[in-house]
Amino acid sequence: EPEVTQTPSHQVTQMGQEVILRCVPISNHLYFYWYRQILGQKVEFLVSFYNNEISEKSEIFDDQFSVERPDGSNFTLKIRSTKLEDSAMYFCASSRDRGQGYSGNTIYFGEGSWLTVV
């Protein structure tokens, strides 16, 4: 079964450093997403990306964050100057069509990247 892959699985970084989390979405998918989950809290939507631009973003996704699809296969989340509160599990996801459940569309999630900011 096709899957979304994420690297690294775990990264420890110092506060103030830049971090890039990488994702390889499922190959024929057109919509891409980042979610995060702070330990013990809810999974939160960060951003969705379609046709090389952001289609929706949450309040969490401020100027510190950016997303990019640098080539035909990777989808990246960059955090420019990490803060302690950025420590979380970051999930990448992709879907063939827009949104979740729409016309039977399903969003597929990766296994997540654990980011620890010290």
Positions that interact with other proteins (CB under 8 A): 4, 31, 33, 35, 40-45, 48, 55-56, 58, 91, 93, 98-102, 106-112
**Residue 106 CB: number of other CB atoms within 10 A?**
11
Q: Which is nearer to other proteins, 12 or 15 (CB)?
A: 12
Q: How far is the CB of 60 from other proteins (least distance, A)?
A: 12
Residue 118 beta carbon to other proteins: minimum distance, rounded to whole angstroms: 22
CB of 103 to other proteins, least distance (A): 9
Compute the least distance from the CB of residue 62 to other proteins, in Å.
17
82, 76 Cβ separation under 8 angstroms: no
